[in-house]
Amino acid sequence: MLNYLKLRYKLFLVLMVFWFLLQLNFRIETIVSGILICALITIFSHDVLYDDNGYLYHAIRLRTVLVYVVFLFVEIYKAGFQYVRNLIFKHYEPVVFTIHLDVDDPVLVGIIANSITLTPGTISIDVDSDHFTITVMTMAKPGTTIAELEQPIHDKFERLLKGKGAKR
């Protein structure tokens, strides 16, 4: 077990740092329980986060994450104001559609699905990370085509993450 942890020390160390940041104390019980919990998570994450060949997920660049988070907050506020206006004037109806994403990383599909749900007036109903699709419910004008509803998701959310995990 010690040799196993030695091979996966990076994950263990990141978990330990996160543990201490959450606990903010260094009593012996906290240290021992942190070591045990982090060791168990490291052991049980085999074939989820990594396999015998290495890590299954390769991180997104920090710059991309920061740009994406700023962009996401701007989109949330814009959509919030638009959603309130649409509710007041009652020009929109609920529409459900499935969008196929051009990324091949299940983590990126999850990030995009969560971004859709955080945006007011839209929600991710179902995520299929095997086929890289998301079923979305949104408010739209009557007669709006599915392509018009998919385009903002491709242009706004997916475009920023495409440098990592793109199919094309």
Show the domain range for 8: 2-55
Q: Is residue 168 a part of any domain in this protein?
A: no
Output the six-digit token pair for 86: 């649409």
Does 131 share its domain with 67?
Answer: yes
CA atoms within 13 A on the CB side of 164: 20
Same-domain status, 69 and 151 = yes
For 128-141, write each residue's pLDDT tens digit. 988 889 999 988 88
Are both 31 and 85 inside the same structural domain? no
Average of per-residue pLDDT across 35-63: 75
Which pTM was predicted? 0.57
